[in-house]
Structure 1
Amino acid sequence: MCAQDVSTDRQEPARVPDPGTLMVDISRGGRVGEFRGVAGPYWSLRPMNGGTEWEAEPATVRPATAMERLGAENTRCNARSRGDVL
């Protein structure tokens, strides 16, 4: 699936990321999640260390920085070493 534009309440359309892209939901305190797809007007994100997917408004989601990606990958590796995530 390639990236596409989706209209939001803002003037510019939000760019839909490719599945698997790490995104930050600023409405949830900077929670990092893996983009899973579009669900109506919302984007579905999945926590890196497992757990329940959540939906976020595209206007409150941004791509993760390099440091945020590194932190999320480290969290996932730690969860895998404990057996929390396959």
Structure 2
Amino acid sequence: MTDGGDRPPRARDAAAPGPVPGSAVHDPDTGRIGVVAGRAGTGLRLYPLGGGGTWQADPRHVRLLTHAELLSARVAEANARTRRAMEVRGESVDGRGRSGSAVESTGL
């Protein structure tokens, strides 16, 4: 009986399926967070949380986000969407608010 030390190492990456479509991952090669859209050859096709163009990522480098990281990323994306919308409407985005805002007009 052998301890298996004389066998070649098992190719873990080849056997592991990697993240499935819909999984949120961090791509350290780009520093971005993305959602797995699917496979593209031997790579993964990712898209940003807030939508947009896809990019290729090496499945051996990406890692799944923790629940806390995903929540933080979703909050950051929601805040960015709000800032963009406010800028389009010409509203202040510096955090000081505006005269005549909904909070002031209702007396809250």
Same fold (TM over 0.5): yes
Q: CA deviation at 1:37?
A: 0.1
Query: What CA RMSD, in Å, does the superposition of the two structures yield over aligned residues?
Result: 1.9
Q: Which has the larger radius of gyration?
A: 2
Aligned to 1:12: 12
Question: Distance between the aligned counterparts of 1:41 and 1:47, measured in 2?
Answer: 20
TM-score (norm 2): 0.58
AA aligned to 1:21 is S
Q: Across the two proteins, how many residue pairs are aligned to each other?
A: 73
Unaligned runs of 5+ in 1: 1-9
Structure whose residues are more often strand by fraction? 1
Shift of 1:20: 1.3
In the alignment, the residues of structure 2 paired with residue 57 and residue 21 of structure 1 have an alpha-carbon distance, to the nearest angstrom, of 15
| Identical-residue share of aligned pairs (%) | 40
Name the amino acid aligned to 1:27: D
Q: Which has the higher contact order (CA 8 A, sep 6+)?
A: 1
TM-score (norm 1): 0.70
